[in-house]
Amino acid sequence: MAEQTKAKGQEKVGQVVSTKMAKTIVVEVSRRVAHPLYRRIVKKRKKFYAHDETGLAKVGDLVRIVEYRPLSKLKRWALAEVVRAAVQVAEHGA
C-alpha cells in the first residue's frame, strides 16, 4: 500500500482515534488557525477515515495519511506511514 500512496495530492498528519473497523482507521487532524474576527488562535480538528490494508496503525499513533481514490462513501484517504507509535502501557494483574 505504501508504494501506491506516494501519489500526488494532499497529505495530513494526525492521531489515530479508532481502529474498530476492518481495514479502516479514523484519524483526527488538529490545526491552529486565527479567528477571522477576533484574531485569536483557536484549535480546529477534523476526523478523516483512512484505509489501512495491513492493520499497522494502533490507537494513539501519529500517522501520515495521503489523498486516495474513493474507497467508500467516507473513505478517501490511505495510510502512508506511522510517524510515531503510541506508548504502550503494561497492565499489571492483581
Task: List domains and CATH numbers for the chain.
Answer: 4-84 (2.40.50.140)
Q: What length is written for the chain?
A: 94
pLDDT in tens, 60-70: 999 999 999 99
Q: 78: which 3 cell numbers?
A: 490511505
Q: 84: which 3 cell numbers?
A: 510515531
pLDDT in tens, 17-46: 999 999 999 999 999 999 999 999 999 999
Cell 483557536 -> residue = 42
Amino acid at 12: K
Running DSSP on this structure, what letter comes out for residue 7?
S
Single pTM value for the model: 0.83
Mean pLDDT, the chain, rounded, equals 91
